């Protein structure tokens, strides 16, 4: 891996079971993330960020997910929240996003209400799937504005002392992401801590990432997590195949050759989908550099490539799973965890295709 040392790879993987059990990153892993600004890949340098181009950052997300699915998801989601900095005032953006440990957890659901008051807005609601809730310093939530502004939708920035975390993340995979619900009751949010994603960004006009369409941004970000987990599954599947061959002296050479061929085919198909995915993303970034926007055709190309690489990753795991014995079916095995993580990532609506 290009972006992570062997030491941190082993440290994260050694903590993987505990991460699943607690849904919380260890202080040591969080310290590593802060030191290497892994939650700040998409923040401008003026906010102590790394101001990366999208294709480069996706390579980091992929590797992080290949180390551990929940770790990769948390790094990816943590960076995704950087997008919102451009929709706030300079002063508020600096206050919220400049600290070393700054990171957003939030939800795209519109499950809150806000009533305009003299001091700002009174916010109430409950929002699901706030990944990284336990280490977040910023929470974002969408609300319908009260009766005087019927049907208006606005996003709100809530601080940790304004929300209660409800530990209801009970999925069979990605258990380590701590993607719990948050609840706010009569939280007072000043106007300057609200924004509207349907409008153009207010800040950092020279940073192309903030002009990239948000839907395609989400698609490519989630797709590389599926890709990374899928590659890790195949890595572990091959290791299991080799261990079984060495352990069983009576192992059939024909059986081994059959499964090995399955593995090689699945891996080759995934690597081809990976190449097509990065080709599409790179082309989209080049179009952003020349046109400052994406054409509708390019948006479709990126979306198709994102969905396809996730689909191929999922199919690769399906193809190998029956041949990996009880190790794959045992809940406490790494193979099983990877299988569950991969399918949980691929449930995200941005990765579901309704085309063949």
pLDDT digits (tens, 9 = 90+) for 120-136: 999 999 999 999 999 99
Residue 249 has pLDDT above 70, yes or no: no
Specify the pLDDT at position 253: 77
How many other CB atoms are found less than 10 A from the CB of residue 137?
A: 16
Residue 316 has pLDDT above 80, yes or no: yes
Specify the pLDDT at position 169: 98
Specify the pLDDT at position 119: 85
CA 319, CA 238: separation in Å to the nearest integer? 13
One fold for both 6-86 and 212-351?
A: no
Residue 248 has pLDDT above 80, yes or no: no
Residue 34 has pLDDT above 80, yes or no: yes
Predicted confidence (pLDDT) per residue in 158-215, tens digit: 999 999 999 999 999 999 999 999 999 999 999 999 999 889 999 999 999 999 999 9
pLDDT over 90, % of the chain: 90
Fold of 6-86: Butyryl-Coa Dehydrogenase, subunit A; domain 1 (1.10.540)
User: 54-67 vs 253-291: helix axis angle to the nearest 10?
Assistant: 150
Of 72 and 327, which is predicted with more confidence? 72
Residue found by looking up tokens 């295709």 in the block: 353
CA 271, CA 110: separation in Å to the nearest integer? 37
Residue 53 has pLDDT above 80, yes or no: yes
Fold of 103-195: Butyryl-CoA Dehydrogenase, subunit A; domain 2 (2.40.110)
Contact 309, 272 (CB under 8 A): no
| Six token digits for residue 97 | 């996003």
Specify the pLDDT at position 108: 92
Residues 329-338: contacts with CB within 8 Å, 24+ apart?
A: 332/17, 334/16, 334/236, 335/233, 335/236, 335/237, 335/240, 337/16, 337/20, 337/69, 337/173, 338/69, 338/229, 338/232, 338/233, 338/236
pTM over 0.75: yes
Task: Look at phi and psi of residue 213 and say left if phi exceeds 0, alpha if psi is from -120 to 50, else beta.
Answer: beta
What is the pLDDT confidence band of residue 68, given thresholds at 50, 70 and 90? very high
Residue 32 has pLDDT above 60, yes or no: yes
CA 313, CA 231: separation in Å to the nearest integer? 8
CA 110, CA 154: separation in Å to the nearest integer? 9
Specify the pLDDT at position 322: 94
Q: Is the dihedral of CA 317, 322, 326, 331 positive or negative?
A: positive
What is the pLDDT confidence band of residue 355, given thresholds at 50, 70 and 90? confident
Q: Which CATH number fits domain 212-351: 3.40.47.10, 3.40.50.1970, 3.30.70.20, 1.20.140.10?
A: 1.20.140.10
Domain ranges of the chain: 6-86, 103-195, 212-351
């Amino acid at each position: 891996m290009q972006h992570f040392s062997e030491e941190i790879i082993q440290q994260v993987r050694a903590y993987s079971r505990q991460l699943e059990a607690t849904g919380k990153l260890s202080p040591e892993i969080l310290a590593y993330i802060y030191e290497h600004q892994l939650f700040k890949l998409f923040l401008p340098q003026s906010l102590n960020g790394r101001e990366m181009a999208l294709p480069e950052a996706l390579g980091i997300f992929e590797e992080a997910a290949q180390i551990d699915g929940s770790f990769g998801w948390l790094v990816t989601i943590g960076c995704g929240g950087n997008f919102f900095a451009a929709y706030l005032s300079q002063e508020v953006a600096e206050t919220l996003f400049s600290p070393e440990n700054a990171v957003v957890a939030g939800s795209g659901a519109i499950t809150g209400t806000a009533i305009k008051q003299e001091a700002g807005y009174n916010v109430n609601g409950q929002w699901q799937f706030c990944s990284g809730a336990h280490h977040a310093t910023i929470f974002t939530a969408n609300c319908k504005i009260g009766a005087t502004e019927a049907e208006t939708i606005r996003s709100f920035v809530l601080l940790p002392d304004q929300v209660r975390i409800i530990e209801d993340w009970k999925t069979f995979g990605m258990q380590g992401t701590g993607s719990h619900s948050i609840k706010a009751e009569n939280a007072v949010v000043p106007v300057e801590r609200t924004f509207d994603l349907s409008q153009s960004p207010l800040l950092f006009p020279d940073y192309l990432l903030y002009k990239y369409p948000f839907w395609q941004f989400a698609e490519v970000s989630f797709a590389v997590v599926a890709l990374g987990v899928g590659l890790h599954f195949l890595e572990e599947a091959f290791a299991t195949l080799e261990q079984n061959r060495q352990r069983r002296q009576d192992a059939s050479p024909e059986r081994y050759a059959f499964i090995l061929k399955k593995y090689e085919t699945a891996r080759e198909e995934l690597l081809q989908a990976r190449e097509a995915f990065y080709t599409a993303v790179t082309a989209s970034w080049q179009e952003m550099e020349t046109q400052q926007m994406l054409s509708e055709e390019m948006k479709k190309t990126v979306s198709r490539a994102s969905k396809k690489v996730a689909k191929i990753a999922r199919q690769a795991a399906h193809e190998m799973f029956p041949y990996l014995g009880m190790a794959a079916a045992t809940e406490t095995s790494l193979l099983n965890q990877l299988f569950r993580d991969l399918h949980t990532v691929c449930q995200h609506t941005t990765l579901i295709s309704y085309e063949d």
